[in-house]
Every structure is written in structure tokens, then in C-alpha cells.
Amino acid sequence: MLEFLPEERPIGVQLFGAEPDRLADAAKAVIDWVQPDFIDLNFGCPVNKVVCKHGGSALLRDCPLLERVASTVVRAVAPIPVTAKIRLGWSQETINAKSTAAILESVGIAAIAVHGRTKEQGYSGVADWQAIAEVAEVISIPTIGNGDIHDIDDIARRFAMTKVRGLMIGRAAMTAPWLFAKAKQFLENGSLVHEPLIEERWSHILRHCRMAVAESSSEHHAITAMRARLMAYSKGMPGSRMLRAELQQVASLQDVRDVADRHLDSLS
């Protein structure tokens, strides 16, 4: 997870944990290894194996510890910036994003990404952008809004209705990674790029598969590990149910090419 290419910079490495000194040591080790441009602290992860060790969003209900974790890491890695990712709170009844964000700002966190759901919501329901907007009102470091950004309309709307300084895209990165190129164009000069044609999608998918194979010592392993990515790519494609069944079986680059050819044939 620490491997990246120079052209991907600026990059941040995200860590989670609840032991301030160990986390600070981990952050310093990461900086020694790969010189990231910033460290990000994950106070938003709802996954049980993280939360039960008091990591991720568990710290949203222990703000004194969250403060110690954040301040210890900030001090340990200065002048490398440390950012943080939070959710709105643990539950609907205990929403505390504004106070959590204020604490993080007070200990020197450089920017805060806010996912507009609670830990209890997981990924269900819709992100509460009003609550994200309120965080952006109360802190002066940049707020990065996160939740349900799927298209340019969402991007335009969220920038127009809130004071967020950036947006973070989660699941759409897996189904429609070209959204980043579209967003870049739109934000740079307001122009709208067309959705990729189905042929373009397949050529992107095949390129991703080739890159995965090139990075791995086993084509079989790389392609079977790609299946989850392929499922995500197939979302929204015509005939996606059939396509998913086929993609679940692929084990080589040629298998993926064959599925692509059959799919394109079926549409012509």
C-alpha cells in the first residue's frame, strides 16, 4: 500500500490507531520509507476489526484520546502536514463533527475530510451535506466534503452550497474512475467531457488489468484479485447482470479480453 509512482504526488499515507506514541512512531517510519507529502489519520473507519481495537471511528466517542492521538502525531512529524478524516459522529444521537473538527484544528491538523454519515450508518442512507457544510463554517483549515459524489452535478452542487475547499470521491472511484478527469476539466475551465463510450470503458478496464498483471508475479493471481474491481466496473454497463457472472470466472488477461469482445459484439 505504500507503493506509488512519482507522478502520483502529492500523496498522503493514511494510518489508524489509538495509541498515540505507537502511531507517531508508525508515522515517522512511513516518512522515512516513502517520504509522503502528508500523513492522514483515519478517524472514520467503521469496520469492526478496526473499531474494536479502538481505531477509526471509535475515537469519535473518545475525544480526549482523539486529541492526544492527533496532537502526538502532529508534533512527531512536523513539518510534514497531518490531515484527518472523520465521520459525523458515532450515531445520529451523538453527532459531534463540529467539535471534533475544532479539536483537530486546535492541535495543528492541516485539513479535515468529513464523511457525511455516522459510524452506525456504515455506508447506508445518504450523506448529510448540511452537517458537512456546518463543519466548513466553523473551522478555518480546509474542510474536504465526502459522501455520494457520483458526477459533475454533485461536484458543482456541493461546491456551490457549502464552503468546503475540496471534495473526496470514494466509491465512484471504483465504478467510474474517469470522474477525476471529468472533474479536473470542469473545475479548470467549466467544460463538460462526455461519458466514456463502452469501447473506451473496456479499453480502460483492460489497461487496468494489464497494469495489475505487470505488477504481479502471477497473472492468475493478479486477475483473480481484479475480480472485485471488475464487478465495480461492470456496474451501470448494459447487460451488467450477465457480465458480472462472466467476470466472476476470469483468471487470465485473455479471459477478460474474451468477455470484453463478447460484450461489445452483443451490443453491436
Ligand X SMILES: Cc1cc2nc3c(=O)[nH]c(=O)nc-3n(C[C@H](O)[C@H](O)[C@H](O)COP(=O)(O)O)c2cc1C
The catalytic site residues sit at 45
Helix axes 152-161, 179-189, angle to 10 degrees: 50
Nearer to ligand X, 55 or 147 (CB): 147
Residue 148 binding ligand X, by CB under 6 A: yes
Judged by CB under 6 A, the number of residues near ligand X is: 14
User: HEC profile for the chain?
Assistant: CCCCCHHHCCCEEEECCCCHHHHHHHHHHHHHHHCCCEEEEEECCCCHHHHCCCCHHHHHHCHHHHHHHHHHHHHHHCCCCEEEEEEEECCHHHECHHHHHHHHHHCCCCCEEEEEEECCCCCCCCCCHHHHHHHHHHCCCCEEEECCCCCHHHHHHHHHHCCCCEEECCCHHHHCCCHHHHHHHHHHHCCCCCCCCHHHHHHHHHHHHHHHHHHCCCHHHHHHHHHHHHHHHHCCCCCHHHHHHHHCCCCCHHHHHHHHHHHHHHHC
Site for ligand X in 12-71 (CB under 6 A): 14, 42, 44-45
Work out how close the CB of 149 gets to ligand X at its nearest, in angstroms, rounded to a whole number: 5
Q: Select the residue interacting with ligand X from 17, 36, 55, 147 (CB under 6 A).
A: 147
Residue 148 beta carbon to ligand X: minimum distance, rounded to whole angstroms? 5
Q: Which residues are CB-neighbours of 238 under 8 A, at least 6 positions away?
A: 198, 267
Which one among 169, 179, 209, 222 touches ligand X, defined by CB under 6 A?
A: 169
Min dist. Cβ of residue 268 to ligand X (A): 33
Considering only residues 185 through 204, tell me which ones interact with ligand X, judged by CB under 6 A: none
Contact stretch for ligand X (CB under 6 A) within 132-140, 167-175, 189-197, 205-213: 167-175
Q: Among residues 52 and 264, whose Cβ is nearest to ligand X? A: 52
Among 68, 85, 119, 201, the residue binding ligand X under the rule CB under 6 A is: 85
Nearest residue to ligand X by CB is 170
Interacting residue with ligand X among 57, 59, 96, 115 (CB under 6 A): 115
For residue 95, what are the β-bridge partners?
A: 89
Find the binder of ligand X among 149, 213, 223, 260 (CB under 6 A).
149
**CB 186 to ligand X: min, Å:** 17
**Cβ proximity of 12 and 37 under 8 Å:** yes
- List 171, 210, 227, 257, residue binding ligand X (CB under 6 A): 171
Question: Nearest distance from residue 267's CB to ligand X, in Å?
Answer: 28
Name the residues that contact ligand X, by CB under 6 A: 14, 42, 44-45, 85, 115, 146-149, 169-172
